[in-house]
Structure 1
């Protein structure tokens, strides 16, 4: 049967029109599907963060336990946030709820001139749920000895460290210790100075944790050195980082806090604002160490105080815990360890076998022994119990400090001990995230 070209042309036009209609319908259906998918995804995200309504369809929100646990870990050792509070001639930084036998009391840490901390009364406020209750306390204080290292030539200590004690006269409240209130008796205005109380919540699952307190940075440490410090110490078993910071590193610390609790990252990164009100390094160091021990007392197995350029290096083991436990086997009593310290000269040439992409600690292998202030490393820290002292041989472990050696009499030796941790560091999730550039993106930092 003969079909004209005109008929074929008309059929093609109908086919094209039909194809256009089908395409338009498919596209509309796809857009509607995508819209409904995004709505459903948004609802699921909300439920994932806040939980689903409970109790027979009541109009309520229930916070998701996993989300809340992650938020708590961000401030595990820093909630409530401390600050320097001026009280008369002195400054109070932090307060802790502590037990001593059957006695309960608040202990606050303060610094100031060598004048008596007298004529004060104290009250303890308790959180009763919907309201706060106040209990009168018995006030007392003591002076703490400040070991001299930076100010060895000074005959007299200009700044003193005080421990302020407030013991409740009666324990009628069943609430949660919330705040310490100090009132100067001779002040006619009766101004109340409020200091929030840190009360440690003991978690049996965290008893084996290892914490590091990091001194406030005043030199402007690079972001890469901070990432490398945390990546390395994670590799040797550190689970929690308590950072005393004065504002220099707030952007990178904010990013690190946002990653806590995620698989492959730190269990907690807690930041504490630290602007010491005096220019006395000995007093500053001593009070920071006291605050660090108080925050970790009974909550971790090991705690140490370091700076961003200081690394605890096990030489026979691959973790800090194994290194210390071999030195004091089967003893669960407070022990303070002393490790030899070595400067790793960052201004000398890299190891010839090292690659530029490696962390600084893996590239600098020229070491020299130097007199530095002993780092605080305590196993089973407990406030009120003086730890026994134990010296570790340099063959077991050491503290390596990555600083320039210019101006020093440099007699170095070659020691590539850090090479044993190269694999753990370069495969660290945090280190890879940093190298990719994702960690410094605005969306991560916010």
Structure 2
């Protein structure tokens, strides 16, 4: 009789094991489906009022952080004067709010300002001053169409213990006076010593449609390099799905989305204003370095594994303000390699021969704390150490010959980590 009991127990155990394995397989399949649905949205005929994965959802809007209480945009302060962002800066014993603005040469800068403090019912008067931010391209001093970026400083009449949380700017010349512009104030940490090993990437507007695949590859790759924060200046051409990708909160990075409605057709003034907003904004996290890139650019070190490790190797004493890097043009016209990883850069190892390019493009990785202090020390880093891989069409004209090519597969060292990227896996499932 006992042998029959044992047989029954054995059969029950066998069936239970098979059922458990089947359940586990189906559970994983269902979870993958729910992750994709939670990222890319539910079908229109289904009404869902909560996240598919509840507290374990892969993507969430909580990760899209706006450092200011109000999203920065260019605000009109006068006929030809606009302001964008404000920062609390302490230089020695001097304290002031530094506002980034832009104006035509002929614009009036007769302004007034007031400061708002936590716990105070009324604002406090401030003293206003301004200075022109230097640009690479020079114009005639009396050119009425010249557009200058400015630092507008508002210094408190009476110094209080805490920094202000908002600054109010108004024009003293226009009558009747327009409504004042109120900007939130970010606190700047001037310490040159980084608080962690993170690197900040500021993504500049590309003036073209940005696909979700570009965003997924850009974020996945730079996260491997130790990039912990992205400051994205959005000109409105990020697709809705691309924006959803930036909302991921489980991968350890943060994305700040800033609308960039620059008011003038002045590329040099726009890039200068963006550069300084990027530098000052990144000071709040005290990174090892900050670099400005477009969505079609990847910072690829050949020997180092992270950007912070490279910076520390070349500047252990924290004395170099800028590292000049070289951009390599990887042409879409060149043949592609085969790769099982859903990452376009791993299929393109040929770049244009720089000897045939008239002007070698350069980018700069900066230590924001040193640049803000006015240091101009530089180091040029060879493309054999690190290069900015730029993916583009090299012969836009039909009658223009494709430039000679060179082979560079330095990005392939990151293949295994890209293959394990959760974001790329999710994106490949969606495409499949």
Q: TM-score, normalised by structure 2?
A: 0.76
Residue in 2 that maps onto 1:6: none
Task: Please list every run of 5 or more consecutive structure 1 residues that lacks an aligned counterpart in the other structure.
Answer: 1-44, 50-69, 441-446
Partners of 1:346 and 1:228 in 2: CA distance: 17
Shift of 1:77: 4.0
Determine if the alignment matches structure 1 residue 74 to structure 2 residue 64.
Answer: yes
Partners of 2:104 and 2:320 in 1: CA distance: 32
3-state SS of paired residue (1:297): helix
CA 394–186 in structure 1, closer or farther in 2 if over 3 Å, else same: closer
- For residues 151-190 of structure 1, the C-alpha deviation after alignment (integer angstroms, 9 at most, x for no partner) is 9xxx997211111010001024x55522221222233333
CA 110–327 in structure 1, closer or farther in 2 if over 3 Å, else same: same
- For residues 54-109 of structure 1, the C-alpha deviation after alignment (integer angstroms, 9 at most, x for no partner) is xxxxxxxxxxxxxxxx9875326455421111111211111111111121101111
Residue in 1 that maps onto 2:198: 209
Determine if the alignment matches structure 1 residue 429 to structure 2 residue 422.
Answer: yes
Q: How many equivalent residue pairs? A: 362
Determine if the alignment matches structure 1 residue 133 to structure 2 residue 126.
Answer: no
Determine if the alignment matches structure 1 residue 417 to structure 2 residue 432.
Answer: no
Task: Please list every run of 5 or more consecutive structure 2 residues that lacks an aligned counterpart in the other structure.
Answer: 1-50
Determine if the alignment matches structure 1 residue 108 to structure 2 residue 75.
Answer: no
Question: Which of 283, 287, 290 is the equivalent residue of 1:297?
Answer: 283
Shift of 1:206: 4.8
Residue in 2 that maps onto 1:95: 86
8 Å CA contact 2:167, 2:185 repeated in 1:
no
Shift of 1:318: 1.2
8 Å CA contact 1:112, 1:160 repeated in 2:
yes
Residue in 2 that maps onto 1:366: 350
- For residues 24-47 of structure 1, the C-alpha deviation after alignment (integer angstroms, 9 at most, x for no partner) is xxxxxxxxxxxxxxxxxxxxx9xx
Determine if the alignment matches structure 1 residue 171 to structure 2 residue 155.
Answer: no
Shift of 1:344: 0.5
Determine if the alignment matches structure 1 residue 392 to structure 2 residue 381.
Answer: yes
8 Å CA contact 1:127, 1:133 repeated in 2:
no
Partners of 1:201 and 1:132 in 2: CA distance: 25
RMSD: 3.0
Partners of 2:268 and 2:178 in 1: CA distance: 32
Partners of 1:372 and 1:112 in 2: CA distance: 31
Q: How does 1:112-123 map to 2 (within 5 A)?
A: 112-115=103-106, 117-123=108-114
Residue in 1 that maps onto 2:333: 347
Residue in 1 that maps onto 2:149: 161
Question: Which of 313, 319, 340 is the equivalent residue of 2:306?
Answer: 319
